Every structure is written in structure tokens, then in C-alpha cells.
Chains A and B, each alone.
Chain A
Amino acid sequence: MSVRPNMTRRRVNRRAFLRGAAGVSVALPFLESLPERSAWAAGAEPIFSLFIMAAGGVVPADFFPTTPGPLTSDFLAASGTAGAALASHAENLLFVRNVNWPAQPTGEPHAEGPCMALTALPPTGSSSTAHASGPSADVVIASHVHPDLDPLTLYAGNLRNGYIAERLSFTAEGTTRAAVDNPYPLYQELVGLAGAGGDAMARALIESRNSIHDLVREDLTALMNNSRLGSDDRKRLQLHFDSIRDAEVTMGELCSSTGLDVTALDALSDFSFTTDGMIEKIVELHMSLVALAFACNHRRTATLQWGDGTDGTKYPVPANEALGMWRFNWISHRAQSDGQVGMDPTAEQAHREIDVVRMQTLSRGLDHFAARELADRSFVLWTNHYAEGPSHSFRNVPHLIWGNGGGYLKQGEIVDAGSVVNGQVLSTLISAAIQDTGTVVDDFGTGVGQLDAIRA
């Protein structure tokens, strides 16, 4: 006879550990000062969600393959599109075409688009001060899974001097939530460097735990070697033995500082944003920290705005050097102007090259999620604040989704949503993110129902 059939090794989430001590934060070694975060429901795996919105549109014809069907690494690598940079993630990607914002541009699309990307509601106002008409998806998710904690609201760009800066995460009233542009504070919060003596205590805790684990392993081995034990008992002790190793992996790898670019993060203690392409490194650092925060169940949801509404980054790509280093918004406009659009072919080529750079950055960011084994426990949505530059169109805005959201979402496919408003996409994603609560959302924003095309 066998031991209980479901007595199998199961990867657990840090939440178990963080909450495991009756409300006292024991945390993992390097997270010694992490406050207790309550989001774990026994028996239900938490799902994590990151919503990324980039600025400035893409070059649609060369951005990503659009013919519906399977998405494989080889196919994507050979596609000749910017998406080829994501080839190593193809099996975890879902590309969704034909998704529209719920309203047409009426005044300032650089502000209107971001207000709709995660709210699925037409914005209030049409100037540069346009704001959202309701809560964004991240806020809704947070209200379900950790109502006492705000979502992480992150920003990569010229936040302090941008013409249209943060415009992605909104409270229930539609008030814009302030974003954090420097990754350093989150880094500090996660690794507990802010607490005096925290490092020494963490090292002592690590060392004592390791020694105790060795003692336990020794005792378990001795018990397993007892010839009177039957096979079921040996299996059960082996499970215990293996679980200690799994716990060490969880503590030591998935939810640890391993993989963080500590040098780059430390350098941000004296943060000063520059428009020379630094934005890409900031995006990657933000994503690395969000992946860590998710692996440790520090937060369940986050947003990352990738560029200002009229982004001024001077991307160092060959075609832009030929242009004399235009601001990205001008490249997007195909004209050397924030107020006019044109058809400059070199600018279009520069935009094409920038798309590649940004997909390379996204790929490196997703590497952090993959390394922390988040593909089955999260999703990352990447979209844009409009479809492409010259038209500022709010139709067929590209949507890339990484991760299956706890088995809720398709992966490895290109799908055509069928010209739906993004409310259907967001209803589906929110439902995936809060599935452990048993709640289903099918009317987010102006959306009606979920989008079956992206559901597993």
C-alpha cells in the first residue's frame, strides 16, 4: 500500500514561512527586517501579476509575428521582428493582437492612452491632465488579495521632469497613484539593509539554520536506516529529508538576493535619472526586484510605467545617431517635434531599433521571473500606451503576456482577440490573479465577459 497519494513534494511559497510563526516575522535570512505580509490563504497558491506599459507605440509591421498559431522559440527567433529578442521565453509567451482601448483619442493621446491601459474606461478629460475614470487592475487585485497593502507602483523614466509622468495606476476613485522611479528604496526594503545590525543578525540566522538542518538530516538518516521501518515510513522520512532541501532552495535561491545586480542597485543610492538610455537599466532593475518581491510574496501585484507620456529618452541606436540623437517621442512621431507627426524613414528605422532594445530589456527582466520559477505562479503583461506613433491609434494595441497565471492563461501562442476592448483582457487577468480568493471578474471597465482566446 502506498502512503497518502498526494503526499508529494510541493513547492511552497514564502508566505508560508513569513506567516508561519503566528504573526511574528521570522522571514528569510536576508529579509530579516521584512514586515509580515498577510496574503496567504492556506491551501491556495497566490498568483502574482506585473502590468507593464511602455510609451510611444511600436512599429507594428516589425514588432511581433501576428498570424495566430503556435509560438515557438525557433519561429520567434527567425521572425525578423523585435519579438525575436524574446525567443528564449517563447513557450511562456502569449501575444494578443486586436485589443483596443475603450475610447478614441480626443485631445492628448499621450495622457489618454495610459489612463485606459489598466482601467479599461474612457479617461476623464482630454488634455495633458487627463486622468482615469476608475481603478486600475493592480489596485483591484490588491484590494482582493492584500487590502492592507498598496500595489507596487514603479516608474522608469524622467519622472521628476516629465511632461506627462506617472499615469498608470489609479485608486478606486481614479486618482493617480504616485510612482517610485528609483529601484533603490524597494531594494533596501527587500534586503533589509536599512536596519542597523540586520546584516550580522541575518548571517547568524543563516549559519544557525544551516547547522540545525544538518542535525535534522543526520537524525532523519539514522531513523531511515533503522531496519525495522517499513517502506512507507522510509518514504515519509525521505519526504521530510527532501523537504528540508526544498526549503533551503526556497529560502536560498528563489527568495534570496541571488541574481540581483547588487552593484548597479547600490549605485542608485545617489539616484539621478539621465535620458541617455539609462531607462532600460532601470526597467531591468525594477523587474528584478518585482520578481524577488513576488518570490517572497512581499506583494502580489505591481505596475511599471516604461517611459514618460512624451518620453525624452535619447536611445543610443544607430539610426538615432544618424538623426543626431532625437528624443524618443520625436522618433515615435517620425518628426523632430512633440506637437507634429511626420514620415521620416530614419526615425521609423530608429523606432524599429528601439523596439528591439526594449524587447531585449524585457527579455532580461523576464529572465529574473523565470529564475525565480514564477512562470506557473504569475503573469507579466506588457502593453503600450498606444499602438504606433504617427497615428497615436488606440486600436490594435499590442499585448504580450508572459506566464500562465496559475494555469489560467494560454502560453506559447499568438491569438487574435477579435477587436475587443481591453476590459475583457483585464477581466481575465484580474480573475487569474485573484483565483485563490474564489472571486471571478467578468465586467471590468467597459469589458463584458472574459476573453476566451487567452484562457487556458
Chain B
Amino acid sequence: MTAGASGLGGSSGTGGIAATGGSGGALGGGTVGDTHGGEGGEGGAEPVPTTSSVSLVGAPIYTRVQRLTNAQWENAVTDILRFEAPANLSRDFVAPVAGATEFTNNEKLLFVDERFALDYEAASEVAAARATGSLEALAALYDGTDATGFVQAFGRRAFRRPLSADEVAKFEGAFALGEMLYGAGFANGAAVVIRAMLVSPHFLYRTELGAAGEPLNGYEIASKLSFWLLGTTPSDALLDTAAAGDLEAVDGVEAVARQMLEDPRALPVMRDFHGQVHHLALIPSITKPGVPEYTPELAAELGEASTLFFDRVFTEGGGLRDILTSNQGFVGPELATLYGVTAPASGLELRELGSSRKGWLMQAPFSMLWSVGEQPHPIQRGVAVHTNVLCADLPPPTLDTPSLPPPMADDLTNRERITALTEGCGGDCHGRFIDPLGFAFESLDGMGRERTTDNGRPIDTTGSYPFAEGTKAFGSAEELMQILADSPQAHTCYAKKVTGYGLQRDMVEGDRPLLEALAVVSSEQSLKDTIIALVKDPAFRLREEGKP
């Protein structure tokens, strides 16, 4: 089988099948969609887009030397040193800057500066001391006492490939140095070898050193799969698979990926993925002064209910469609009361939340996160959908944004006062892209409770949105959720996020055919299937063609 023959879309010109009819079709080939001219012909004004589209304006490096993330480093050290549990040695490593890239595992955030050089060295010394500090630890590490055998066996685990003869000789020297400096004995020699390997670039970076356009070798694929899907280094068995050449064919890659997706270690990786997509880390920071119903007990349930929801989507073989349309959610005693469902005896349990609660965006954590006190914040909710679910660009707000008028002012509904506010600031973006999405959720107040009136008047949840595939009207949040679940733009967005997270780089226009093809898989199948489709694609298996 040729390298590209099984591919879906073939990013960056690798060729392949554009399953949705080719770029520039229904999903919008441009970066901002169609535009109309500025009102009144005021020269120089930025054209305002008339349709939404998945933005692909990144600037990837296409690195060949991908530094491990802090979590990957911790897991890899745990595995190769045979620790029973993570030693938490990375806890003080500098966290990557959040917000500079779509995900914090992006290649542009991962490098080794002086702080990391110092931290890696310090951590390597503690790790080595721990791994050689007792007979039990040594027995778990290596079942022999010879330097060469240890260097070869541990080196293969650390560097995720067999060591060359020169490398073996070099680390035998490190072993001898350890015995010379600290006294004769396997532990002293092994400790220095471990220290040296843990700060080696061959451990700290996952490399792709083959020719551009050529498939990654089996060891590179093993590392790429394992670090993405399990968050850790390849197992000995997977390295054996790589050595046998079984990862050079697409079938072998698929088989391993499917195994990994059923491994419990995949769950924290996908939890991190969905957490970053929907900014779940913000949930603990929700405050609602003056709202007595927002109790510490309720607050404590929100994060876990969110995590469990996304965990279940992944483990049960769901995907974006389930995220957007599921009527089920996790509740503890407080959320059960809020939703009006039976409370669990303890902990959080899955419940049917009713047909009026469709998808994650209609559950209480989302409603509470994007609101002010008991009032919904339609702008924040609209922006969350526009950017997190539809991947559309959003120009920065105007500098002279006026303050929100107080709730209930002048007998206005929330929708009316937001409309008045955004009309006042020339709200082309608000009126077209943000407010309609936010207003659809006016049936849920700032606590996520259902409501039919606002300020004594009926709520209005109607609106329309200019999707890339065409403008769609909706009468309620439930209708909007179904439209989103059926939207090629939403699935392309989800594919963009899966791919950006998996490849650890920005997405660009050249990726659009791949993303549109993955969107079809996302629309019809599960997240796992979407991931499988990606790892089979040349974009994953080949060294990016034409890239340095």
C-alpha cells in the first residue's frame, strides 16, 4: 500500500480524497467567509464577514524536535524507571503559557530554556536516586547487574529506540564514571546513566528525522501514537512491534491506535483535550456573589459533572454529536435539585435531564460559567459557541465598549438590553455572529435553571446564524443544538481541534481538505473513529511534505 492511498484528505498537498466536495465548498474555503462592503464606503474599514467559517490562520513550525510536555515527561519517567506511581517530579516545571495557542501542548510552547535545563537536571538526579535507592527499585528497573545490558535495555526505553554502538559505549562510560565517583556498585553506575539519559535530547524530544514526505519509521510512529493517545512513552511491547516493522503499514498503525483508545490511560488525555476546548479549568473560578443558591456544595459538583460528561462521551464511543445533543448529564445532590431529578445516594451519577436539556451547552456548568450572577451573559455564551464550537474568528471588542446596563433597567429584558448595548457599538459582529447564538440560551438563567420569562416578560430565543454551509434559523436552544450537531462547520471545527491537539501544531488552510474529510467521520461516527481516521492519514504517518 502506498503511503497516501489510505488517506482521507492529505494535508498540505499530500494528495487524498476531499470527502465533502473539496475545499472552498460548503464549509467556506476562505478564512473569513464572504464579506460585504463597508457601509457608506468609508475607505480603509475592515470588511465585515457575512458568513462564518472555520478559521485556519495558524503559523506552525512543523518541528522535528517536539519537546515532551510536562505531563508526558512525568509519565515517561514513571514508566521507564518502573515507578509504581508518578513521583510528581515535574510539579514545579514551568507550565506552558495558556491562551497563546489553541492548546498548551502546541509545538511553539515547548522548548528548553535555562529554567527547564536546571529543572530537568534537578529532577533527573532525584529520579535516579529514587530508581537506584533500594534493592526493590533496582530489581524493578533491570534484572541484571551488567553495565552494557543495563545501558542497552534502559537506553531503549529512554530513547524509545535501540541505541547505536557509539551510544552504548558513551553511556558505558557514564556508568564507569558513576562507579568511580560514588564507589563501585551497580546502583552508583546506573544512577549516573539514568541522570545522563533523562537530560539527553533523545529523551526530552520526540523526533521525526526522516526525509520530508516519507513515512515516519516504526519507532517514531510508536512514540507519536503513545505520547498522544496515552500521554506517555511507548511500552516495551510497542517498541517490539516497531522493531518488527508492524508500524510501517497503515493497518498496523490503526490496530495499535485502536488498542490505545481502549486503554484507561487514554482517558486523561482526552479529558485534557475536552477541558481545553471548553475551558473547563475556568469552572472552579465561578463566583456568584449575592446568589444564595450558589453554594460551595453546588460549586464542587460542577467541575466533576463536566469531566464525567466528556469522559463518558469518549469511553462510550460518542463524539461531537453526543456532546451537542445528549439529554444525559451527571448530577450530585445539588445539581439534582437544580435539574429536578432524583439525587444519587452518593457521589455523582448519570441522569436523564429531560428533552429540554440538549447537549453540554444546555447543562448547568456552561450556563453558570458564561453568566453574571443569575443573569445569562448572551455575549459570552455566543462567543463560546462561535469560537469553541464553530472555530470562527472573532475580532477584538471595541476599546470603548460601554458597560452593561443594570439588570431589569427600564423594564427591558436581558435580550433587549444586550441588543441595545451592541447596536450602540456598531454591532455588526454581535448582531450577526454572537448575539443570536447567545440569545438562544435565554431559556437558561445564570444558574442554569430553565425559565420562560425575563423581567416579567416572555423570553425570546429565536435567531439565525450564517453558518459556512448556509444561514440557519432556530427558535430555541434545543433547535440550535440540533443544527450544530448536523453542521459541517461544527464538525470541521471539532476535527480541527482533534487534529491540532494530536499533531501539536496550528492548523492552516492547507489542512482544510483533511479537516473536512475528518468532519464527515465526526458527523457520522465517534471521536475514536475520528482519531483513527487521523492516525491513518499521511498527515500523521508521514513527515510533513515540503516542510523543513
Which residues of A does B touch, CB under 8 Å?
Answer: 1, 3-4, 7-12, 16-17, 19-22, 24, 26, 40, 42-43, 204-205, 207-209, 211-212, 215-216, 218-220, 223, 226, 228-233, 236-237, 239-240, 243-244, 246-247, 250-251
Interface segment, one of B138-146, B174-182, B370-378: B174-182
User: A-B contact count, CB below 8 Å?
Assistant: 153
- Given the known inter-chain contacts A20-B118, A250-B118, please indicate yes or no for A240 contacting B123, CB distance below 8 A: no
Of the candidates B62, B121, B211, the one having the most CB atoms from chain A within 10 angstroms of its own CB is B121
Using a CB-CB cutoff of 8 Å, which residues 99-148 of chain B contact chain A? 100, 108-109, 111-119, 121-123, 125-126
For the complex, give the distance between the alpha carbons of A237 and B200 in Å.
Answer: 12
Counting CB contacts under 8 A, is B347 at the interface?
A: no
Is the Cβ of A216 less than 8 Å from the Cβ of B195? no
Counting CB contacts under 8 A, is B199 at the interface?
A: yes
- Given the known inter-chain contacts A12-B118, A208-B178, A219-B201, please indicate yes or no for A7 contacting B111, CB distance below 8 A: yes
Is the Cβ of A247 less than 8 Å from the Cβ of B202? no
Contact of B199 among A11, A212, A236 (CB under 8 A): A212
- Given the known inter-chain contacts A212-B196, A216-B199, A220-B201, please indicate yes or no for A243 contacting B119, CB distance below 8 A: no
Contacts of A237 in B (CB 8 A): 65, 201
Is the Cβ of B209 less than 8 Å from the Cβ of A219? no
For the complex, give the distance between the alpha carbons of A195 and B115 in Å.
Answer: 28
Q: For this complex, into which size category does the number of interface residues on chain B fall?
A: 35 or more
Is the Cβ of B177 less than 8 Å from the Cβ of A1? no
Is the Cβ of A26 less than 8 Å from the Cβ of B122? yes
For the complex, give the distance between the alpha carbons of A323 and B95 in Å.
Answer: 65
Contact of A215 among B62, B117, B200 (CB under 8 A): B200
Contact of B174 among A17, A212, A226, A228 (CB under 8 A): A212
Is the Cβ of B123 less than 8 Å from the Cβ of A20? yes
Contacts of B63 in A (CB 8 A): 232-233, 236
Q: 17 pairs across A/B with beta carbons < 8 Å?
A: A4-B108, A10-B113, A16-B115, A21-B119, A22-B92, A26-B125, A42-B95, A212-B174, A228-B212, A230-B61, A232-B63, A233-B61, A233-B63, A233-B64, A237-B65, A240-B111, A247-B118
Counting CB contacts under 8 A, is B59 at the interface?
A: yes
Contacts of A220 in B (CB 8 A): 201
For the complex, give the distance between the alpha carbons of A216 and B65 in Å.
Answer: 15
Is the Cβ of A239 less than 8 Å from the Cβ of B126? no
Is the Cβ of B548 less than 8 Å from the Cβ of A12? no
Contact of B122 among A8, A11, A20, A40 (CB under 8 A): A20
Rounded to whole Å, the gap between the CB of A206 and the closest CB of chain B is: 10
Is the Cβ of A208 less than 8 Å from the Cβ of B195? yes
Chain B: which residue is nearest A249 at the CB level? B114
Is the Cβ of A22 less than 8 Å from the Cβ of B118? no
Q: Interface code B131-172, partner A: CB below 8 Å = 1, 0 otherwise?
A: 000000000000000000000000000000000000000100
Interface segment, one of B83-91, B298-306, B315-323: B83-91
Q: Interface code B194-227, partner A: CB below 8 Å = 1, 0 otherwise?
A: 0110011110010101111000000000000000
Contacts A208-B195, A230-B547 known; list 12 others, CB within 8 Å: A1-B59, A3-B111, A4-B100, A9-B113, A12-B115, A22-B123, A211-B192, A228-B548, A230-B62, A232-B548, A233-B548, A243-B116
Contacts of B117 in A (CB 8 A): 240, 243-244, 246-247
Rounded to whole Å, the gap between the CB of A265 and the closest CB of chain B is: 27
For the complex, give the distance between the alpha carbons of A43 and B192 in Å.
Answer: 31
Contacts of B88 in A (CB 8 A): 22
- Given the known inter-chain contacts A228-B64, A228-B211, please indicate yes or no for A236 contacting B177, CB distance below 8 A: no
Contacts of A12 in B (CB 8 A): 113-115, 118
Of the candidates A9, A10, A205, A209, the one having the most CB atoms from chain B within 10 angstroms of its own CB is A209
- Given the known inter-chain contacts A215-B196, A228-B548, please indicate yes or no for A20 contacting B202, CB distance below 8 A: no
Q: Interface code B272-305, partner A: CB below 8 Å = 1, 0 otherwise?
A: 0000000000000000000000000000000000
Chain B: which residue is nearest A17 at the CB level? B118
Is the Cβ of B92 less than 8 Å from the Cβ of A42? yes
Counting CB contacts under 8 A, is B94 at the interface?
A: yes
Is the Cβ of A230 less than 8 Å from the Cβ of B119? no
Contacts of A17 in B (CB 8 A): 118-119, 121-122
Rounded to whole Å, the gap between the CB of A230 and the closest CB of chain B is: 3
